[in-house]
Structure formats: C-alpha cells, structure tokens
C-alpha cells in the first residue's frame, strides 16, 4: 500500500486549511514532532499526554488518542517490525475555525493535522564529536501562562533561527530577558557539573520537551542527580559536559560555543542508548 500523501487534515487527504482557522489567524493551537518507526509513533503515550496538557493550557480539548492513531495508520505504512525505516510526524491541533476576533467561538471543533516528512540525516560528526551552538541575540519573553507549552506562536524561534547561516552550527542557545539560559531553538539543554545534571527552569518561558523529561527520569540510573534550576550563560559555559536533546535525534553533546570547547565524552551516547536512539 502506497502512502504518497504528505498530510492528513481531520482524517481526510483532500482537505486544506481555511484562512478562518484560528491556527492560521492567531497561532491558536499546539504541535508536536516525533519519530515514526515501522509506521508507528515512538513514545506515543508521552507525546499524547503532553499534547493533551498543552491543548488544556490554552483551553482546547484535544482529540482522542484513538482518533489520532487512526490518522497515523492512514498516513504511515505499518512496516515489518524488523524494518529500520524512520520518518517524522508533526501533529498540529488548533482551536478550529472562527469568526474574526480573539474571542473563541462558544462551540469549536479542533482542527487536527498530521504531516509526514523524511527523517533528517544528521551528520556523523554530530554523533561522534558533538555539535556547535550559536548564542542567539533574540531573547525569549516571559509568559507564565504559556511557559513550557509547545504552541504555534513561534516567531521568537524563527527570529533566533534567522541569526545564523553557517551550516556548521547545529542550533542556537536562547536566553531569557535576564540572560539566563532556557533552551535552544529546537532542543532542550542539560549541563553536567560533576554528578549534577542541571536543566533550565522553564516556568516563565521555553518548551518542556518529552526527551528532557525522559533524561531527567533516567539520570538516577547513571548516578546523576537531575536538577531543574536557573542557569546563567557563564555558568553553563563552565559545565563539565553539555548535552542538547529533542525527540528526533535524542541527545547530542555540545562540542563548541563561541570560544568555549568541550572534549568528547560519553553522556550523550549513553542517553541515546538508554532512550533507544542508537
């Protein structure tokens, strides 16, 4: 069975988005990106749980897991379980269509979109030697009502990502208005200081990814203490080891930020193994 379509909207291959959709009009929705392995979403329970929580943060009732799973089965082929084939799914849930004006309609039907794309080909050096980061001038704004949520208002990430064109730079470090490290444009961050693994506090800004949560959860197995804390840029640059993570590549070591370099160590690879990314 061939799956040549790239996306599915409300379970239908022939749909499109209305310009009256509040996702288009206002970024009134949330999204997630995940690996599809052998035709099925990897870590689906965690992704679905986060999708429901993010929808709830802005007052959207998330479509059921069953409905979304039936969409996955329409868009992706369930492969032989021995297959190594990996693809990427992006799920977007918006509040649905509405009239002009910020006030949500009294009754709305959320729009659900699943987009299929190819798994990115990460450079071998990213696995072997680590990745280089840029420190972005664009700083994240503080908004407690949206902090942690992967919503569709992503202009800050775009402005930050537009700051560099050097393809040797993998991602950009985002600071908050006070100059504390929060995350990267598409990754979360962990800084290891001896046996303590610090990840920035995301209570005012940033996206709390599920791979960040999974790394916190498995760190004790490595005799590391995961700690959510404020992390200044200067302190981060003194870390014994620096790791970034997301749901597609798992974890990479950071090898270079500006003039600061780190020698290759084992933690990123260990996390990839533990989280089944290698």
**Does residue 247 interact with its own copies by CB under 8 A?**
no
C-beta of 92 vs 226, nearer to its own copies: 92
> ∠ at Cα 159 (101, 176), nearest 5°?
90
Report the alpha-carbon distance of residue 4 to residue 1 in Å, rounded.
10
Minimum CB distance to its own copies, residue 253 (Å): 22
Q: Which of residues 176-235 bind its own copies (CB under 8 A)?
A: 177, 185-186, 205
Q: Which of residues 145-184 bind its own copies (CB under 8 A)?
A: 145-146, 151-162, 177
Residue labelled with tokens 């799956």: 3
C-beta of 139 vs 214, nearer to its own copies: 139
Sign for the CA dihedral angle at 203, 53, 171, 84 comes to: positive
Q: What are phi and psi of 214, to 5 degrees?
A: -65, -40
Closest CA to 246 of 204, 203, 205, 199: 199
Annotate each residue in 40-79 with x if it binds its own copies (CB under 8 A) or - if it does not, as one string: ------------------xx--------------------
Q: Which of 64, 70, 143, 273 binds its own copies (CB under 8 A)?
A: 143
Q: Under a CB-based contact definition with an 8 Å cutoff, are residues 150 and 30 in contact?
A: yes
Minimum CB distance to its own copies, residue 31 (Å): 8
Report the alpha-carbon distance of residue 170 to residue 122 in Å, rounded.
10
Interacting residues with its own copies (CB under 8 A)? 6-7, 9, 16-28, 31, 33, 58-59, 88, 90, 92, 99-104, 113, 115, 117, 138-139, 141-143, 145-146, 151-162, 177, 185-186, 205
């Amino acid at each position: 069975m061939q799956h040549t379509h790239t996306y599915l909207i409300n379970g239908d291959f022939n749909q499109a988005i209305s310009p009256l959709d509040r996702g288009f009009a206002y970024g009134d929705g949330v999204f997630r990106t995940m690996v599809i392995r052998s035709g099925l979403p990897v870590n689906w329970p965690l992704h679905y749980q986060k999708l429901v929580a993010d929808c709830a943060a802005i007052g959207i009732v998330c479509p059921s897991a069953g409905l979304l799973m039936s969409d996955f089965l329409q868009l992706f082929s369930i492969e032989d379980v021995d297959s190594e084939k990996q693809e990427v799914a992006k799920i977007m849930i918006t509040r649905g269509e509405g009239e002009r004006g910020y006030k949500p309609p009294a009754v709305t039907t959320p729009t659900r979109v699943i987009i299929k794309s190819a798994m990115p080909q990460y450079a071998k050096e990213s696995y072997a030697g680590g990745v280089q980061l840029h420190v972005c001038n664009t700083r994240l704004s503080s908004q407690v009502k949206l902090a942690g949520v992967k919503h569709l208002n992503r202009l800050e990430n775009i402005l930050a990502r537009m700051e560099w064109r050097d393809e040797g730079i993998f991602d950009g470090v985002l600071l908050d208005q006070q100059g504390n490290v929060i995350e990267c444009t598409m990754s979360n961050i962990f800084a290891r200081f001896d046996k303590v693994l610090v990840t920035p506090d995301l209570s005012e800004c940033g996206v709390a990814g599920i791979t960040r949560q999974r790394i916190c959860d498995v760190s004790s197995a490595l005799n590391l203490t995961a700690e959510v804390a404020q992390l200044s840029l200067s302190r981060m640059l003194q870390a014994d080891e620096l790791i970034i993570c997301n749901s597609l590549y798992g974890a990479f070591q950071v090898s270079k930020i500006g003039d600061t370099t780190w020698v290759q160590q084992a933690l990123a690879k260990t996390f990839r193994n533990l989280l089944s990314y290698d």
